[in-house]
Structures are given as structure tokens and as C-alpha cells.
Copies of this chain bind each other. A is one copy, B any other.
């Protein structure tokens, strides 16, 4: 009967559980504690004690005697309203988490290199958007190195970039692209670039450029690079306009038919990997997106 005046916020928060709020709601909605306890699947003393504990935490009586029943006080109704709100929030949260676990809601941030965005993934993006309209799909196009940095700093969930995956990143190969020499229109044989040839290549420092440099070296070519661009469309145009030679994946170079007949030697292969942080938390939406990508490849 003597309720300790433990009415500090910390005491209240520290001691009250969602279960107790559930008990309170049931006790308020059922005709008696006994009926409420039965509906909750616990014994009547357990319910009585739990409610007394809530009273103690709240610092005010929540029930008062009414014959052999007990009824809510005005303070009790105040606390009941709180309980209803919190329990409704909890149910909504549970729904959200479940929807997210099913991949039906939430955010999916995918990073991809421009070649992927242009030639490989558009259909998959469209398909994913159709199948999961409630997912907030955010796409970022950048170079491999930048994408991997963003992946590491939790700014992206899934990255399609040139592999193989480095330390702390795990991935699966989605596509393997050959990289061929392409000659500018004219007399020269695409398979025999002259020594004085000028080259338009991917930017120095990029993953693809590193692969290309190694491959060209194996072919005995030390390219004279007069133009660098991270944009493969730019490189293709340079070649098509006769301004130099390049090394490109056919998917890029032959998108317009101009360069199809100008393909030269196979310089190297680059692999497009789908990558995530090693040991990252499960991500149903990323999993689904990747599933679509692998199914298409």
C-alpha cells in the first residue's frame, strides 16, 4: 500500500518492460485480473505482482479497489494510453523489420562503374525496381577505387566494380570482359599498332588501366598516352574520330558499329565483381539484387 516515491524518469525507464505494458493493457481490457492473467497465459499472482511493480515504478497508484474488482485510476489511464502508443509502435516496428527481412522495404545503395551502368545492369535495375517498388534503390556511378572506399565507409551496400576483391571485401564474379585494342579508322592493321601510335586510355590509377598496362606490356607495347578519361564513351569517340588507338571492352567499343571492324589484339580481361564488405550484416535487398544480376549473366 505504501508506494515508494521512486518517481524519477530513470527509475521508470529502468524498470518497466514492454511486457509489463502488455500486461497493463490486457488488465485494462479484461473484466478482471484473473481473466487478464488467463488471457496472457500467466497466473493471477504473476499479473498482480507485475502491475504492482509498474505502480511502484510509476510512483502513483494505477488501480483502486472497486468491490472485489480493481479499476484504473486516472493516472492509470494515463499510463494505459502510453502503453497503447508504445505497443502500437512496437507492432509497427515489427512489421517494418519483417518487411525489411523479406527484402520488401528499406534502402539499397548500389555502386557501379560506368561500363556496368551502361551495358550490363540497366535491365536488372529496371527489373528490380518493378519487383520491389517499395525499396528505395539508390545508384551511384563512379570508378572502382571510389566505390570501394564508399563500400568500406558504409555509404554503399553493394558494388559492381572491377575485381578481384581486395582485403576486407568479398565478392563474386558477375561478368568477364575481354579488353581489345581498337584502331582508329584508316589503313593501319588493328593487330599491329605502329610504334608512334597515340593512345586514348582509361585514367592512370584506375583498376582497368592497371590491367591494360600489364596486358599491353605483355604484347610489347609501351603506349604513348595522349588522352586519359574515366569515361569509356569518350575513349570510343576519340578512336572513332581517328584521334588515336585505345583498349576497350567490345561492349563499349562496338555499341555503335563504327569500331567493330577495327578490333585488334586481346590485351587482357577484366572481371566485374559484385562486392560487399567482408562479414557485413545480411542484407536481403542486396542479396535479391545480386540474384537478379547473376541470373541475367
| Interface residue ranges, A against B (CB under 8 Å) | 7, 9, 12-19, 21-22, 58-61, 64-66, 71, 73-75, 78-79, 82, 85-87, 89-91, 93-94, 96-98, 100-101, 106-107, 154, 277, 279-282
What is the bound-complex CA distance between A277 and B67, given in angstroms? 12
What is the bound-complex CA distance between A94 and B10, given in angstroms? 10
Cβ-defined contact, B9 with A91, below 8 A: yes
Which residues of B are found within 8 Å of A58, using beta-carbon distances?
A: 97
- A13-B22, A61-B281, A64-B279 given; 6 more Cβ-contact pairs under 8 Å: A7-B97, A13-B90, A15-B18, A59-B101, A60-B97, A74-B100
Cβ-defined contact, B107 with A74, below 8 A: yes
Q: Which residue of B lies closest to A152 (CB)?
A: B66
Cβ-defined contact, B66 with A9, below 8 A: no
Which residues of B are found within 8 Å of A85, using beta-carbon distances?
A: 89
Which residues of B are found within 8 Å of A74, using beta-carbon distances?
A: 100, 106-107
Cβ-defined contact, A96 with B73, below 8 A: no
Measured between C-beta atoms, what is the minimum distance from A277 to chain B in Å?
A: 8
Measured between C-beta atoms, what is the minimum distance from A156 to chain B in Å?
A: 12
Cβ-defined contact, A59 with B97, below 8 A: yes
With A16-B17, A59-B101, A74-B100: A281-B91 Cβ-Cβ less than 8 Å: no
What is the bound-complex CA distance between A78 and B99, given in angstroms? 12
What is the bound-complex CA distance between A154 and B72, given in angstroms? 10
The quantity of this chain's copies bound in the complex is 2
Measured between C-beta atoms, what is the minimum distance from A125 to chain B in Å?
A: 20
With A9-B91, A17-B17: A100-B75 Cβ-Cβ less than 8 Å: yes
Which residues of B are found within 8 Å of A79, using beta-carbon distances?
A: 93, 97
Measured between C-beta atoms, what is the minimum distance from A37 to chain B in Å?
A: 15
Measured between C-beta atoms, what is the minimum distance from A58 to chain B in Å?
A: 6
Measured between C-beta atoms, what is the minimum distance from A142 to chain B in Å?
A: 21
Which residues of B are found within 8 Å of A90, using beta-carbon distances?
A: 9, 12-13, 16, 82
Cβ-defined contact, B93 with A82, below 8 A: yes
Measured between C-beta atoms, what is the minimum distance from A247 to chain B in Å?
A: 37
Q: Which residue of B lies closest to A280 (CB)?
A: B64
Cβ-defined contact, B100 with A60, below 8 A: yes
18 A-B pairs within 8 Å (CB atoms) are namely A7-B94, A7-B97, A9-B91, A13-B19, A13-B87, A14-B18, A59-B101, A60-B100, A60-B101, A60-B282, A64-B279, A66-B154, A71-B154, A74-B106, A75-B281, A78-B93, A78-B96, A82-B89
